[in-house]
Amino acid sequence: MLGYRSAVALDEPFRPLGAPAPAEEFEELTSRALRMLGGRGDRRSLRAVLTVREPAPIDPELMAVLDALLGGERRVDADARTLPGPVAVWRGDITRLRADAIVNAANDALLGCFQPMHGCVDNAIHNAAGPRLRADCRRIVDLHGTPEPTGTAKITRGYHLPASFVLHTVGPVVHGELEPAHVAALADSYRACLDLAAEVPGIRTIAFCGISTGIFGFPKRPAARVAVGAVEDWLALRPCRFDRVVFVVFGDEDEAAYRELL
């Protein structure tokens, strides 16, 4: 982490250029942002434009408009600190959970999903955080010069997310039968996120998405077993480092798997 910490200003508080706007201003802010980006349409159109946009510098006037819009859109459905137990399960949208850090299931390019309206968690997190997140990831990629290896993690600020930080990890891709190497790599991703989060003193709560269980093809119930095992083993060695670790689930199968294990 030390090799890119200053490049992404990890220790500096995020200061948006525009105050959060009320809902009645969203339409006008969306239109203004699209005009400045050379487009037109509605909020979905703006999201699509930002999804395919390369991580280039943004004019401060445009960034102020985006800050006002994204700040106004931010919603918090739950707070990790209020969930029961040191290890908790919460069903909902990870971009609406207040936590010190959330985990993003990234691809090895580390720049987010470039497919407009794609349903992956990577897309959702980048959309809610805003374009600064992709810019930070680009800085990290440029410094390291290689794709992100499976089972490792990087950290950035969370910007417009309710979470202060985002941990980006690349889980294994499963084609066909589940192999021991897939299991080991997935456990590495969970441990890497915990190790990295432990280096940031302000992180006391951390929330995991279901790493590799989407388009990466890792079966959900085996993935839950790996996740719970890796986290519980890590916490057993460092029982006081985090106040709460949360597994965020989105569907019935995910929730049932984690609740059975916990």
pLDDT tens per residue across span 91-110: 999 999 999 999 999 999 99
- Is residue 34 scored above 80 in pLDDT? yes
Is residue 21 a part of any domain in this protein? no
Confidence bin at 166 (pLDDT 50/70/90):
very high
pLDDT tens per residue across span 172-201: 999 989 999 999 999 999 999 999 999 999
Is residue 57 a part of any domain in this protein? no
Give the model's pLDDT for residue 3: 84
Is residue 139 a part of any domain in this protein? yes
Instruction: Give the CA distances from residue 148 to residues 91, 195, 212, in Å, rounded to whole numbers and listed in that order.
Output: 29, 17, 15
Residue 25 phi/psi, 5-degree rounding, is -100, -5
Q: Angle CA(167)–CA(97)–CA(6) in degrees, nearest 5?
A: 30
Q: What is the mean pLDDT of residues 10-39?
A: 97
Q: How would you class 29 by CB atoms within 10 Å of its CB: exposed for 0-12, middle for 13-18, buried for 19 or more?
A: buried
Give the model's pLDDT for residue 243: 97
Q: What is the mean pLDDT of the chain?
A: 96
Percent of the chain with pLDDT over 90: 94
The HSE-up count of residue 74 (CA atoms within 13 Å, CB side) is: 23
pTM of the model: 0.96
Confidence bin at 261 (pLDDT 50/70/90):
very high
- Is residue 2 scored above 80 in pLDDT? no
Confidence bin at 1 (pLDDT 50/70/90):
low
Is residue 6 a part of any domain in this protein? no
Q: Count up the domains in the chain and report the number.
A: 1
Is residue 239 a part of any domain in this protein? yes
Domain enclosing residue 113, as ranges? 76-261
Is residue 182 a part of any domain in this protein? yes
Is residue 39 a part of any domain in this protein? no
Percent of the chain with pLDDT over 70: 99
Give the model's pLDDT for residue 46: 97
Is residue 63 a part of any domain in this protein? no
Give the model's pLDDT for residue 219: 94
CATH number at residue 167: 3.40.220.10
The secondary structure of 88-156 as a DSSP string is EEEES-GGGEE-SEEEEE--TT-S---STT--SHHHHHHHHH-HHHHHHHHHHHHHH-SPPPTT-EEEE
pLDDT tens per residue across span 119-162: 999 999 999 999 999 999 999 999 999 999 999 999 999 999 99
